Structure 1
Amino acid sequence: MDDLASFLRTRRARIHPSSVGIPTDSRRRVEGLRREEVAHLSGVSVDYYVRLEQGRATQPSEQILDALARVLDLDETEREHLYRLARQRRRRAKAPSGRLRPELLRVLDLVAEAPALIMNHRLDILAGNRLAKLLYGRDLPGLNTARHIFLEETERGLYADWETCTLDVVGHLRLAAGKYPDDPGLASLIGELAIGSKRFRQLWARADVRARTHGRKAYRHPLVGLLELHQENFALPGEAGMELLVLSAAPDTPTEDGLRLLGTLTDTGSEHPERARAIASGVLLGNSADHERGTEHLGDHPDLS
């Protein structure tokens, strides 16, 4: 799914010669650095570097990898990915089982005021609390967020920052492919996304890697409007590839109000979206006093109770 040779080629192509002191002119036809230039700058023979990019050289030393990372200007995530790819022939990680301990499900239920979910390395949602289910508007076990973003949603769908989300997803899957190259489920997912999405194919060809542990995550919910949440990812000890994701709202913000309102909805509210949307808009656009009065009586509404 991913290999050292293709990663080196894509990283080499993005380095402009002038940034490493190599003059250029109009006759230059190579995008980025030439192979021999990378070899010279990193202190390895041209023949050895060519064999690296052809997948014929095995087990490069730590010194060679350090030199390549420096010349190719890799960030910390890319550097770790490079080392992982170089070690694949020696030791290949086994794909996680994906089994959830009951204790983890109890932890999800304890998170009552923020959407929380458990996700694996393939971006399958394995479980979620009530607010997470209401946020996505569907049952969560079995939902793959990569498939949801690329094949089911659009730029005007649930994800307010859809383009950024696509970058994050592809970067994450690239990392996962480097960690678990023998996972058939991951290989099948990547193939499905490549067939079904032109944007996925374009981003995958760039071979970018991303490790996102926290940051802004904005949703455009059909009933409560824009939710600008903060996402924190927590790796679960002893559960390889699994993470707990918590989406929180800053205090005293419209998003906090929106989450509070979202929590008052039930599954039946989605059956009456127009009436639910009208009530939600009235609450969110009113003053704070009206807001308090509106939420106090939402439980009496036949569609939102």
Structure 2
Amino acid sequence: MSLATTSSASASTSADIRRHELAAFLRSRRERISPEQVGLPPTSRRRTPGLRREEVALLAAVGVTWYTWLEQGRAIQVSSQVLDSVARTLLLDRNERAHLFALAGAEDPTPVVDCPTVTPAVRLLLDQLEPMPALVLNSRYDILAHNRAYTRIAGDLEAMPFEDRNVLWLAFTDSYFSSVLVDREAAQEAIVARFRAAMAEHSAERVWTNLLQRLREASPDFEALWARHEVEGLGNGLKRFTIPGVGLLRFDYTNLWLGPNAHTRLVAYTPVDEETRSRLEQLNAAE
């Protein structure tokens, strides 16, 4: 058997498994809903619990045969709009809805977007991490929140326009952050590769493309790195900063996810050695 034949068979098997999982999932969701929940009159003569297939089809405004085939795991064309109607009819919650579209291999036309708001609990946590620098980032590297200690390595963020409060922007422009960042070239390479990996899911979103365009116009270094098409996953690591009047600070930085998806995260900088800890306390005491 050729490699192409093996690959094709594997893809076919994967699709078959997904369709059967989709069929079982739809049946389980249909059987848990009573007619009364969707405004239908109750009947006593039902052989199976929940709604009938034809009732789901009627409420979702799809063909009975099409919906029956969908629940039978047949290889039929499934549109996002029809799946949206089925999801609403079956009263799916946000997790069930995401699961439905994932099994169907379709794009959700109205995806649920996690709110990026930083909660009071997260702000309290940032404050409690003092004197260690900490900030909250989204996957686009926008700085959503930070503690005072972080301004000692990033500069006065509150004095900047919101669109400039972005780690990519700070790393590639004439900022205080870029001036004190040691190993700047390696850090720039890593962040561009991670940004490109993250942008794969957002390439059509204006806020992402606007940031990309700004960076390409502002920095030839960014433009050169972007042209390499390197990608890299998120990870923890080491960052070094040379602060005027204090000296070298060496930190381990750790990503702490603030939700079920790898989007918004708290990044904490912890001293690698006693010398850094002592200098950090000296920097804190100077204020």
Scaled by the length of structure 1, the TM-score of the pair is: 0.54
What is the deviation of 1:96? Answer: 5.0
Paired residue secondary structure (1:126): strand
Cα deviation digits, residues 18-54 of structure 1 (max 9, x gap): xxxxxxxxxxxxxxxxxxxxxxx9638xxx9xxxxxx
Deviations 1:125-163 (A, max 9, x none): 111112112222313583111011112249971211110
Q: CA deviation at 1:112?
A: 2.0
1:232 aligned residue (254, 257, 260): 254
C-alpha distance in 2 between matches for 1:42 and 1:158: 52
**Superposition pairs of residues 1-305 of structure 1, within 5 angstroms:** 43=4, 61=11, 90-91=106-107, 96-139=114-157, 142=162, 143-153=165-175, 157-238=179-260, 241-252=263-274, 254-266=275-287
- Judge which range, 137-146 or 181-190, deviates more: 137-146
What secondary structure is seen at the aligned counterpart in 2 of 1:206?
coil
Structure 2 counterpart of 1:184, one-letter code: R
Decide whether the 8 Å contact of 1:131 with 1:262 is kept in 2.
no
Normalised by the length of structure 2, the TM-score is 0.58
| Superposition deviation, residue 177 in structure 1 | 0.8
Provide the C-alpha distance between the structure 2 equivalents of 1:147 and 1:94, rounded to a whole number of angstroms. 28
- Deviations, residues 223-254 of structure 1 (Å, cap 9, x unaligned): 312111111111112576111001011242x2
| Amino acid aligned to 1:164 | A
Distance change (3 Å), C-alpha of 1:42 and 1:203: farther
The one-letter code sitting in structure 2 at the alignment partner of 1:118 is V
SS in 1 for 2:200: helix
User: How far did 1:183 drift?
Assistant: 2.6
- Higher-Rg member (1/2): 2
- Identity among equivalent positions (%) equals 24
State the alpha-carbon separation in 2 of the partners of residues 62 and 161 from structure 1.
47
CA distance 1:186–1:246, change in 2 (3 Å): same
Greater RCO (Cα-Cα under 8 Å, separation 6 or more): 1
**1:63 Cα shift?**
8.9
1:176 to partner: Cα distance: 1.6
CA RMSD of superposed structures (Å): 3.2
Aligned residues: 189
Structure-2 change in CA distance of 1:133 and 1:206 (3 Å): same
User: Is the CA contact (8 Å cut-off) linking 2:155 and 2:176 kept in structure 1?
Assistant: no
Looking at structure 2, the residues matched to 180 and 63 of structure 1 have their Cα atoms a distance apart, in angstroms, of 29
1:101: Cα distance to partner?
Answer: 1.5
Give the match's secondary structure for 1:152.
coil
Is the Cα contact below 8 Å between 2:271 and 2:277 reproduced in 1?
A: yes
Runs of 5+ consecutive residues of structure 1 not aligned to the other structure? 1-40, 49-59, 65-86, 267-305
- Check whether the contact 2:154–2:177 (CA below 8 A) recurs between aligned residues: no
CA contact (8 A) 1:108 1:117 kept: yes
Q: 2 CA distance for matches of 1:170 and 1:220?
A: 22
What is the one-letter code of the residue matched to 1:228?
R
Verify the 8 A CA contact 2:138 2:264 in the aligned structure 1: yes
Corresponding residue SS for 2:144: strand
Hey, what's the Cα distance between the residues in 1 that align with 2:271 and 2:122? Answer: 22
Structure 1 residues 96 and 166: CA distance shift in structure 2, 3 A: farther
Structure 1 residue 265 displacement after superposition: 2.4
